[in-house]
Structure 1
Amino acid sequence: MKPRSLMFTLYGDYIQFYGGEVWVGSLIKMMKEFGISESSVRGAILRMVQQDLMQVRKIGNRSYYSMTEKGKRRIDDGHQRVYSIRSQKWDGYWRIMTYSIPEEKRALRNQIRKELNWTGFGMISNSTWVSPNSLEKQVMEMIQTYELENNTVLFSSSSIVSHDNEDIIKKGWDLETLSEEYLQFIKQYEQVHEVLKEKAWDETLTDKECFLERTSLVHNYRKFLFKDPGFPVDLLPDDWNGTKARELFWNIHQLISVRAVRYFDSLFEQAPDQDHKLNREKAINPFSEVYMSN
């Protein structure tokens, strides 16, 4: 696991429900459980602060870290997509974004591409990205965050004259390869699920093991967010492996969550001047906050 990516998983799956702020010592303890050294953790934190994803608050000689608004937006987007129920029908509209960003701002242009890809857009030609999902709000927030009002155009259309919908999907996404990757996830975690069920039945499943397994599960499942556009069901292939992978993710998550959060409790240390209500129930069952798209 890369330190930065693991940090996003820990904040999105646990820390955000505990006030959103954590002592760096606690963060180091958590990440040590996954074989990540203290120096790697501190290096990742420094880079995230420099990228305006994290911010620090000092109390005495202790440092407490939380996500910035930019970091929270990434956490919220990822959490919503991991724990949403994707059963919506397509409203028939393509959201189309075009941009013109000069060469001297190449780093910004690359960042916009990453953000669009993360959000679920597919590139169908140079600087033209599309999505069948209702993502106007998220895209407008991104445009405002990067001050791109004069460099972008976002519009929607119920038809594309030159191509049919299947052609557009093939241009923007490789669903065939993605379905194969979901199949590999299923094969791996079906075995994990069986082992965990047996241990739960024998009462040999430990809190630490559940914390490691749940965090790794979410971490590995999150990787699909960079590839899966989260299409409405009527645009997906009939044999779509993403559906089965999601059900398996759900089943394992629910089996180990209580013990996982209990172990997280033992590692987490809140700032002394904070009295945030620790929302363990949401940390245990984020599925209870179902995100439905219209």
Structure 2
Amino acid sequence: MEQSFNTRAMIFTIYGDYIRHYGNVIWIGSLIRLLEAFGHNEQSVRAAVSRMSRQGWIQAERIGNKSYYALTERGKARMEEASRRIYKSEAEEWDGKWRILVYTIPEEKRHVRDELRKELTWSGFGLLANSCWITPNPLEKQVHTLIDQYEIATHVSFFTAVHEGMQSSQDLVRQCWDLTEVNDRYAQFVETYSQKYIHDKSRVQRNDLSDEQCFVKCALLVHQYRKFLFVDPSLPHELLPEEWLGDSAATLFNDYYQLLAERATRFFETVFSQAEIPNTVQFSD
């Protein structure tokens, strides 16, 4: 059995990589069976989905004696954004502009301010100065979604600008993001998973891995690679340092994923089909 990871985080991974491609809905029994493969028990799965439901990521509906869980619109949007960044082929060409978000959220809404900081970091913004965040990426849609979600339009100013100096764009990047640390993490990922890839490629060729083992390995691979969404701002190539390892890590990830994906999906479908989703299940936000 593979090392067990946080139950809630693994559920996010499985929703993002599998369930969202199958109507976004799953029976809790199937979810419990899938998580058992990682060493999670029924109690931890039920506690995790309950927490995710309270946080607005998923929603439940009960039909007879069975409970079904589906992504909310917020959950769908997060999964789509995460998938776009995880499986992107290459960075888009930079338009040379910076997006700047400045907020003055009052102290009585400190919890909103804290949540906004987390969301901005996840989206790839960097902190230039107190309450001033920047990104070279066209994240206008994400910004407006956050403003609407937290109802902070009166506390936020958002600009698109050209950097006139006095630093270089690379200096600006170094001020806002620690890309050396991110690159070190990519180096560790490449070192660890290149060895795993060679080993598992040989096992696949010998037909020495079951579908369930491929599912676990594939999901854990995505789970580990997904962590870069929280630290890598996905900057355009023009702004990246020399000897950037993000592209090498992405190539390794894609090759490893393709090695396991067919058998992993087959196991998921076997578990998922054990409880057909009734047509009467209807979710609405």
Settle same-fold status: TM greater than 0.5: yes
For 1:55, what is the secondary structure of its paired residue? strand
**Corresponding position of 1:273:** 279
Deviation at 1:272, TM superposition (A): 2.1
After TM superposition, the structure 1 = structure 2 runs for residues 151-190 of structure 1, keeping only pairs within 5 Å, are 151-190=155-194
Q: Which residue in 1 is equivalent to 2:61?
A: 57
Instruction: Tell me if structure 1 keeps the 8 A contact 2:101–2:134.
Output: yes
State the partner residue of 1:292: none
Q: Is structure 2 residue 139 aligned with structure 1 residue 139?
A: no
Distance in 1, matches of 2:175 and 2:40, equals 39
Q: Deviations over 1:113-149 (max 9, x none)?
A: 1111111111111111100011111111111122111
How far apart, in 1, do the equivalents of 2:268 and 2:38 lie?
A: 13
Aligned: 1:124 with 2:98: no
Give yes or no for contact 1:97–1:152 (8 Å, CA) kept in 2.
yes
String of CA shifts for 1:146-170, please: whole Å, max 9, x gaps: 2111111111111144432122111
- The equivalences for 1:237-252 within 5 A come to 237-252=241-256
Q: Which residue of 1 aligns with 2:6?
A: 2
Residue 150 (structure 1) aligned with residue 157 (structure 2): no
2:102–2:131 contact (8 Å) kept in structure 1: yes
- Between Structure 1 and Structure 2, how many residues are aligned? 276
Following the alignment from structure 2 to structure 1, what is the Cα–Cα distance between the partners of residues 117 and 138? Answer: 18
Secondary structure of 1:270's partner?
A: coil
Cα distance, 1:274–1:254 mapped onto 2, change above 3 Å: farther
Q: Note the 1:205-216 alignment, pairs <5 A.
A: 205-216=209-220
Bigger relative CO (Cα 8 Å, ≥ 6 apart): 1
Question: What's the secondary structure of 2:154's corresponding residue?
Answer: coil
Q: Is the 8 A contact 2:128 2:175 kept in 1?
A: yes
The answer to whether the Cα contact below 8 Å between 1:86 and 1:233 also exists between their aligned partners in 2 is no
Shift of 1:74: 1.2
Distance 1:188 1:162 in 2: 41
Q: Tell me the percent identity.
A: 43
Letter in 2 for 1:102: P
What is the rounded CA distance, in whole Å, between the counterparts of 2:207 and 2:6 in structure 1? 32
Q: Is 1:74 aligned with 2:78?
A: yes
Report the Cα distance in structure 1 between the residues aligned to 2:197 and 2:177, rounded to whole angstroms: 30
CA contact (8 A) 2:59 2:71 kept: yes
Pair 274,241 (structure 1): closer, same or farther in 2 beyond 3 Å: farther
Instruction: Specify the alignment match of 1:83 in structure 2.
Output: 87
Please tell me the residue identity of whatever aligns with 2:126: G
Give TM-score, length-normalised by structure 2.
Answer: 0.93
What amino acid is aligned across from residue 19 of structure 2 in structure 1? I
Instruction: Tell me how far apart the structure 2 counterparts of residues 68 and 172 of structure 1 sit (CA, whole Å).
Output: 33
- Helix, strand or coil for the counterpart of 1:150? helix
Residue 225 (str. 1) matches residue 233 (str. 2): no
TM-score, normalization by structure 1:
0.90
Cα contact 1:86–1:230 (8 A) shared by 2: no
Q: 1:195 aligns with which of 188, 192, 199?
A: 199
Distance 1:137 1:206 in 2: 42
Code of the aligned partner of 2:163: S
- Is 1:235 equivalent to 2:247 in the alignment? no
Higher deviation after alignment, 266-275 or 199-208? 266-275
Instruction: Give the drift of 1:87.
Output: 3.2
